[in-house]
A and B are shown apart, each in its own frame.
Chain A
Amino acid sequence: MNTFFKIYFPLTLAVIFLHGGHISVHAHAVVAGFSEVSGIEITAAYDNGQPMSGGQVVVYAPDNPARPWLTSTLDEQGRFAFVPDYAVPGSWSIQVRQAGHGAMIHIPVEATGLEESVAGSPQVFTGLQLSLMIACVVWGFIGTALFFSRRKS
Chain B
Amino acid sequence: MKKIIACCSVFLLTALLIHGPAVKANAGTLQFFANGEELITQGFLPPKMTKDGWTLTFSHAFVSLSDITAFQTDPPYDAHSGQPVSAREEVRLEGIHVVDLARGSENNPPVFVGEVKGAPAGHYNAISWKMAGDTQGILAGYTMLLTGVAEKDGQTVDFRIRTAEESTYRCGEFVGDERKGFLKAGEVADLEMTFHFDHIFGRADRDPDDPLNLEAVGFTPFADSSKVHEIRLEGMHIGHAGEGHCSIEWH
Q: Name A's B-contacting residues (CB within 8 A).
A: 1-2, 4-8, 48, 60, 65-66, 93, 95, 97, 100-104, 106, 118, 120-121, 124, 127, 130-131, 134-135, 138-139, 141-142, 145-146, 149
A100→B241 CA distance, assembly (Å): 11
Q: How many residues of B contact A (CB 8 A)?
A: 37
**A-side contacts of B176, CB under 8 Å:** 97, 102
- Whether A5 touches B8, Cβ cut-off 8 Å, given contacts A65-B123, A103-B245, A127-B23, is no
A1→B236 CA distance, assembly (Å): 7
Identify which of B12, B88, B243 gathers the most chain A CB atoms within 10 Å of its CB. B243
Could you give 8 example pairs across A and B, Cβ below 8 Å?
Answer: A65-B182, A101-B243, A103-B244, A121-B88, A135-B12, A139-B8, A145-B4, A149-B1
**A-side contacts of B74, CB under 8 Å:** 120-121
**A-side contacts of B245, CB under 8 Å:** 5-7, 101, 103
A142→B5 CA distance, assembly (Å): 7
* B236 near A2: Cβ-Cβ < 8 Å: yes
Q: Name B's A-contacting residues (CB within 8 A).
A: 1, 4-5, 8, 11-12, 15-16, 19-20, 23, 74-76, 80, 88, 123, 172-173, 175-176, 178-179, 182, 196, 198-199, 211-212, 215, 235-237, 242-245
**B-side contacts of A101, CB under 8 Å:** 243, 245
* A1 near B16: Cβ-Cβ < 8 Å: no
Residue of B nearest to A118 (CB): B75
Residue of A nearest to B179 (CB): A66
**B-side contacts of A146, CB under 8 Å:** 1, 4-5
